[in-house]
A and B are shown apart, each in its own frame.
Chain A
C-alpha cells in the first residue's frame, strides 16, 4: 500500500530533550515536506526537500532541523524542544512530475501529536 509513515503518533517530552520524528514513504517520491498544524492557523510548512541531500526552509523553520540522506526518509529533528513547539505535525510527499501523484496533491502521513512540557 502506498503510504507515508510517521512515528510516533503521540509524544510527550520535556523542554530541552532532543527528539526525532521519523517519516518514511514507499512511493519513490522526490518531494517531501513537514508541516505543523495549530488551531486557527491551519497547516504551515516547516521544511521541505526536493531530493536526497536537498533541503530548504519553509515558513516556520526556527527550532527544527531535517535531513534527507535517503530518498524514502525525511526525519524532523527538534534539538531543544520548547513548549511553543507543542503541535500536530504532518509529513507529506509527492512525485516531482505532474500527473504521477494522482491528484497533483500530496500524500500525508497520519500525524504526530507532540506535547512539550
Chain B
C-alpha cells in the first residue's frame, strides 16, 4: 500500500520570503499523481498544485512550485514571496492510476501547518 509522509508538523516563514514543505512517499507503481492541498482555517480543501509522475518537468502555479524527484520519491512544495493568506495546513497526497480502487482514493500525508510571520 502507498504511504505519504510529511515530516514537518509545523513550519513558519517571514512574509515575502520563501519556504519549502517536504513530502516523501512510498510506492511500487511507476505512474501516479501527486497533489498539494491547502486547508485554511475555513477548513476548505483547496488544490494548490498537481504533478503527474510521467512528466519530468516540475509543476508551477504562480508562486507555488514543486520539486519532484521520482527516484527519491520526494515531492516538495516551494512557496515564493509568502503572503499572510498562505497561512494554512498543507497536505501532500498521492493517487494511484489503477482502476477501480486506486482511482478513487487520495492517500494523504499528516499535514504541515504553515505560519506566516508579518
Residues of A participating in the B interface, judged by any CB pair closer than 8 Å: 31, 33, 35, 40-45, 48, 50, 56, 58-59, 88, 90, 92, 102-106, 108, 110-111, 113
Contact of A42 among B43, B47, B91, B103 (CB under 8 A): B91
| Stretch touching chain A among B11-19, B67-75, B107-115 | B107-115
Judging by beta carbons under 8 Å apart, are B100 and A50 in contact?
Answer: yes
Distance in Å: Cβ of A106 to nearest Cβ of chain B: 6
CB pair B33–A88 under 8 Å, yes or no, is: no
Q: Are A31 and B103 in contact (CB under 8 A)?
A: yes
What are 20 A-B residue pairs whose CB atoms fall within 8 Å in the complex?
Answer: A31-B103, A31-B104, A33-B104, A33-B106, A35-B108, A42-B91, A42-B110, A43-B93, A50-B100, A50-B104, A59-B105, A90-B45, A102-B47, A103-B47, A104-B50, A104-B52, A106-B47, A108-B45, A110-B42, A111-B44
B42 cross-chain contacts in A, Cβ below 8 A? 110
**Contact assessment for A42 and B111 in the assembled complex, using a CB-CB cutoff below 8 Å:** yes
- In the complex, A106→B91 CA distance in Å? 13
The interface residues of chain A, by DSSP majority, are classed as: strand
- Across the interface, name the chain A residue whose C-beta is closest to B59: A103
For residue A57, which residue of chain B has the nearest CB?
B101
The one of A42, A48, A50 in contact with B108, judged by C-beta atoms closer than 8 angstroms, is A42
**Chain B, range 48-94, C-beta contacts under 8 Å to A:** 50, 52, 91, 93
A33 touches B109 (CB 8 A): no
Contact B104 A48 (CB under 8 A): yes
In the complex, the answer to whether A41 meets B47 with C-beta atoms within 8 Å is no
Contact A45 B44 (CB under 8 A): no
Chain A residues near B35 (CB, 8 Å)?
103, 105
Beyond contacts A56-B101, A110-B44, A111-B43: 13 other A-B pairs, Cβ-Cβ < 8 A, are A35-B108, A42-B4, A48-B104, A56-B100, A58-B104, A58-B105, A90-B45, A103-B35, A104-B95, A105-B47, A105-B50, A106-B47, A111-B45
